[in-house]
Structures are given as C-alpha cells and as structure tokens.
Amino acid sequence: MTPAARVAGAIEVLADLIERRRPAPDALKDWGLARRFAGSKDRAAIASLVYDALRRRASSAWVMEGETPRALMIGMLALQRGLDGEAIAALFSGERFAPEALSVDERARLARAAQLDAAPLAAACDCPEWLLPSFMRAFGPALRDEMRALTARAPLDVRVNSLKSDRRTVREALAHLGPENTPLSPFGLRFPVGEDGRGPALQAEPEFLDGWFEIQDEGSQLVSVLSGVVPGSRVVDLCAGAGGKTLALAALMDNSGEIVATDVDARRLVASHARLQRSGATNVTVRTPRGRYDPRRPDPLADLAGTVDLVLVDAPCTGSGTWRRNPDAKWRLRPGGLAERCRDQAVVLDRAASLARPGGRIAYITCSVLPEENDDAIAAFGQRHRGFTLLPAAEVAAAAGFPELAQWATPGGGILLTPHRTGTDAFFIAVMRRAP
C-alpha cells in the first residue's frame, strides 16, 4: 500500500470506531480481516496513524473546525507528525486509493495548527472537557505540559529479572536491538520505537522465552520498589491480573518469603501462570477465585486476615496514566465509569485493611492521574479506617532508594509519576501502615 492508501485506510478505521464507539484494537482487527491484501507493515502503519489521530483528537478537531475522521487525520498529520500543508496535500491527492484532495477551506484551516495555544483548554490539552477540573487539580500550572506529554508515544521498557540474570548481561544479549538503561529503575532497559510506533519483537527473543526479562514500563517497576517490600515478607497482591507486579515483587524478595497473588476476576489471572513458570519465581501461590469477589460473602482470603506484612493494591482504575499507549480509552471514558472505578477502589482498599497485620502496610497503586482515584481514595480510606497512617512521601521515596521522587508528592501525600515528570507512564502510589 502507498502512504496515501494507508491514510485512507486509517480514516476508514477511525470512522468505524467513532460511529460504533468501539475499542481501536477491535476496529483495526476487523479492518485487517476484511482486507487481506494489506500486509503486516501496512496494518502496523495504519494502526500508528489511528492511534496518533486519537492522541490528538480534540486539538485536530479544533484546528480543522470539525470532528470527522478525515478532519482528525488531517489535523493529526500537522500536529503530531509535523507535516506541512504541501506534504499533507500530497497524501490527500485524490489519486488512486488516496483520500479526496484537500479543499481550499481545509488548506486554510491547517494554518491554525501553529495557533494551538489559542485553542480552548480541553482542545489544547487533548482531553475530554468534563475531566478538565480533575486535571487542573492534579497538575495546576503545569497542566498543558503534563497533558501534552500524555499525547506522545510511549517507549518500550523491560524489567530485567534478577532471579535469572542482570541488566548488563541482558543488555549485551540484546545489543542488536539497541537498548539503553532506563533513567531511574536499576532493573530496566528501554528500546527504540520505530516510525510505525512499534518496538522490536522482544517476546520472540530467546532471553525472553528463558525468563530473563519481562515487558514492563519503568513507572510500574518503580512503584513496585516504592511499595517497600522486603525479603522474607508475607505479601498479598490483591489485584494481580497478569502478574507483572507479582513477578517484580518476587524478584525484589529474591524468592524468599511468601506471595499470594489473586484477583476479583479469575480470567485476569490466566496469563500469570506461564509468566511465573518462565520467571523462576518459586515463592508465589496463585489463588484463583470461584466467581467474582463479593464483600457480602466470606472472603476467600479470610485465613490470611491480620497476618500480611504488605498488601499490594494495584487498583482497578480509569487507566488515564496509560493514555500514551491507549489513547482511545480517554474518549470512551464517561463520568459513570469513573464513579464505578472509585467504588471498586473503596471495596478493594477495605479488603486490604482486613488483611494487614498490626504494623503491616498497604501499598495503594493506580495507573491514573485523577485525584478522585488517588488522593481522594486515600483520604476516604483514612476516614473509614482510623488505625492506618499514611507514610510521608519523603519517607517512602528515601526508603526505596529514590529520594528524588519525593518532589512529586501529591497534596494528599502520595507520589505521582508522569510522562512529563519522570518519562514513565503515570503511576500513583501511597503507602499506609496499620498501627502496631
């Protein structure tokens, strides 16, 4: 496919996902199945165009004075790809398989791309307008810089599994893929991302198959360390999902102590079994629930009540901190969805409180930047459970060996990493200790 034909294909995908309000991966998959002539490179290029258009959906709509799939694509090529009017016109030529030629009005509107600072705040920040008050609470004067960082492409990071190897060895083994050490995490490597937005196929590398490393954003690696886990502990990973943080904890504990990994949804745990086997982690037990957890029924972890040194709560959330990777998610989020996540977080925190031993800790983590899911959730927990104390951000950061992260303390006392601040996905963490 020519570059222009790929642009036309991306416009078709955008039309489908906007009209049917469906996730981008589903729309892309259906488009590819219906057009077998498109090769893997074509599909990757079209996916990259679609995701970039979703990253800049609001600003592109402002520039082009419309929110049609065509308008979003034209605006994105100017704002995200940095193409000038002539370069965009070459793609929109109206020739065979290319989109219809640019109109006089469309050419004129492209001039607004240089005037984005004059756009309404939600458009300039590329976010849903109803969430602006939350983002303003989170970021204050740095709002525009923080939100623009959330529209960039994310890097590809891995965590070296210290149970089987070390960073120098893995870096040398994967030297042909150009890795660099992550700036903050001592266990991380970062790989360059190509023009199509994809990194190398790391899961096909022998070292991955042997369990030397796992794909994990540097921010996720950092909050695992900030949890304060120590070797020999009894740990419960209450929202373990596919097991990314469970594996990180097992390595930090050097396979000592005990980790119980569980989730409210058994389906989320399926992928964890193969990952655990590959990693060499031997101190992890996976407890698969029968049906979803219901606080009105006896807790299947009741035998651990009051005995756990660290309860890790990687809470269900809106995922606003991962919008670089999932830009379509921000346009599908609705107030009711945020309210539901906040209710879920309260339930899981209350469950964690029953598990922590006297003197034990809860590490509350989200991949969200929204105060409702972060500071507000912790403040509400403190009101419901007076026997827990929020540890100061400076203490949490220093104990983990990252005192510089204390500068990113939130007003409510947690720590918030973001793409703009730390070059990572956005993660919030707060650590609370139960009274002895």
Rounded Cα gap, residues 19 and 11, in angstroms: 12
What is the CA angle 173-178-181, rounded to 5?
Answer: 80
Q: What is the CATH number of domain 218-434?
A: 3.40.50.150
Binding-site members are 263, 314
Residues, the chain: 436
What's the rounded Cα separation, in Å, for the pair 192 and 286? Answer: 34
In our burial notation (b when 16+ CB lie closer than 10 A, e otherwise), range 50-82 reads: bbbbbbbbbbbbbbbebeebbbbbbbbbbbbee
> How many C-beta neighbours within 10 Å does residue 173 have?
17
What fold, for 3-119?
Answer: N-utilizing Substance Protein B Homolog; Chain A (1.10.940)
Residue numbers in the known binding site for S-adenosyl-L-methionine are 263, 314
Instruction: Give the pLDDT confidence score for residue 199 in this predicted structure.
Output: 86
Q: Which of 125, 127, 239, 367 is catalytic?
A: 367
Confidence bin at 26 (pLDDT 50/70/90): very high
Tell me, what amino acid is at 282? T
428: its two tokens: 């919030």
Contact 208, 191 (CB under 8 A): no
CA distances from 284 to 71, 138, 256 (A): 51, 36, 10
What share of the chain in percent tops pLDDT 90? 89
Predicted local distance difference test score (pLDDT) of residue 353:
97
For the segment 242-284, what is each residue's pLDDT rounded down to a tens digit? 999 999 999 999 999 999 999 998 889 999 999 999 999 999 9
Q: Is 228 left (phi over 0), alpha (psi -120 to 50) or beta?
A: left
* Mean pLDDT of the 11-34 span: 92
| Cβ-based burial of 287 (10 A; exposed 0-12, middle 13-18, buried ≥19) | middle
Catalytic site includes residue 367: yes
Query: If you search the block for the tokens 């960073």, which residue do you land on?
Result: 167
349: tokens are 């925190």
**SS3 letters across the chain:** CCHHHHHHHHHHHHHHHHHHCCCHHHHHHHHHHHCCCCCHHHHHHHHHHHHHHHHCHHHHHHHHCCCCHHHHHHHHHHHCCCCCHHHHHHHCCCCCCCCCCCCHHHHHHHHHHHHHHHCCHHHHHCCCHHHHHHHHHHHHHHHHHHHHHCCCCCCEEEEECCCCCCHHHHHHHCHHHCCEECCCCCCEEEECCCCCCCCCCHHHCHHHHCCCEEECCHHHHHHHHHCCCCCCCEEEECCCCCCHHHHHHHHHCCCCCEEEEECCCHHHHHHHHHHHHHHCCCCEEEECCCCCCCCCCCCCCHHHCCCEEEEEEECCCCCHHHCCCCHHHHHHCCHHHHHHHHHHHHHHHHHHHHHEEEEEEEEEEECCCCCCCCHHHHHHHHHHCCCEEECCHHHHHHHCCCHHHHHHECCCCCEEECHHHHCCCCEEEEEEEECC
Per-residue confidence band for 31, with pLDDT thresholds at 50, 70 and 90? very high
Structural domain boundaries of the chain?
Answer: 3-119, 218-434
Confidence of residue 298 (pLDDT cuts 50, 70, 90): confident
Model confidence band, residue 295 (pLDDT cutoffs 50, 70, 90): confident
* Domains 3-119 and 218-434 equal at CATH topology level: no
pLDDT digits (tens, 9 = 90+) for 171-185: 999 999 999 999 999
**Residue 225's pLDDT is what?**
98
Question: Quick one: pLDDT at residue 40?
Answer: 85
Cβ(34)–Cβ(84) below 8 Å: no
pTM of the model: 0.94
